[in-house]
């Protein structure tokens, strides 16, 4: 199994710990660690990362082909930038400017891909219009950076509910594509990471 580094970025309160905790819980817990979490009354995804850090447990999860280890390096294999899809227009503008500025300054330089996660889509009832507006804003912000469109992915999720992390959400049918045989196929974070 290949091992890669992953860095999760974004502003305060956007759901970074919830996203990583959800990925760890759904894709990386062994029974021993699960028992530790239960024994310490850890009941929410956002509590997992601080518990791991406090107890020296490696923050990692596995997909079908790769093991991802959380890092603070400026050159991770994969960078995930979390944006609060439910935030006000001004907060979103600040988040997009911060994203652009930090990419330009080299705060993070993902080696393979940058995934922009639009979190808390459940709070805005999975609005396709809001997703489209945010997507256009992100694409405009990235035009002045050296990050290529071919290595950039934009995905709506609900980290708290696990929507579009492992399985496609029924709440975002507009994100699905028709594949061979006429079946619909949805995009998920794990599929993007495995590409």
Confidence band for 181, pLDDT divided at 50, 70 and 90: low
- From residue 99, give the alpha-carbon distance in Å to each of 34, 72, 182: 34, 16, 37
> What 3-state class would DSSP assign to 57?
coil
Q: What is the pTM of this model?
A: 0.92
For the segment 80-129, what is each residue's pLDDT rounded down to a tens digit? 999 999 998 889 899 989 989 998 888 888 889 999 999 999 999 999 99
Q: What are the structural domains of the chain?
A: 2-163 (3.40.50.300)
Give the DSSP H or E segment for 93.
helix 89-105
- How many C-beta atoms surround the C-beta of residue 85 within 10 A? 25
For the segment 123-158, what is each residue's pLDDT rounded down to a tens digit? 999 999 999 999 999 998 888 887 877 889 999 999
């Amino acid at each position: 199994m290949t091992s890669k580094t992953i860095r999760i970025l974004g502003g305060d309160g956007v759901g970074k710990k919830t996203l990583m905790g959800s990925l760890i819980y759904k894709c990386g817990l062994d029974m021993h660690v699960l028992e530790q979490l239960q024994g310490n009354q850890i009941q929410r995804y956002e509590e997992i990362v601080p518990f791991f850090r406090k107890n020296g447990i490696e923050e990692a999860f596995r997909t079908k082909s790769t093991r991802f280890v959380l890092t603070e390096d400026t050159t991770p294999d994969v960078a995930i930038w979390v944006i609060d899809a439910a935030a006000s227009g001004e907060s979103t503008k600040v988040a997009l400017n911060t994203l652009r500025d930090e990419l330009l300054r080299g705060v993070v330089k993902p080696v393979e891909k940058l995934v922009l996660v639009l979190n808390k889509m459940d709070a805005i009832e999975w609005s396709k219009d809001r997703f489209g507006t945010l997507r256009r804003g992100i694409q405009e912000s990235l035009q002045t950076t050296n990050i290529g469109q071919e290595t950039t992915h934009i995905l709506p999720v609900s980290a708290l509910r696990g929507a579009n992390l492992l399985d496609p959400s029924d709440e975002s049918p507009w994100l699905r594509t028709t594949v061979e045989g006429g079946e619909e196929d949805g995009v998920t974070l794990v599929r993007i990471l495995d590409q």
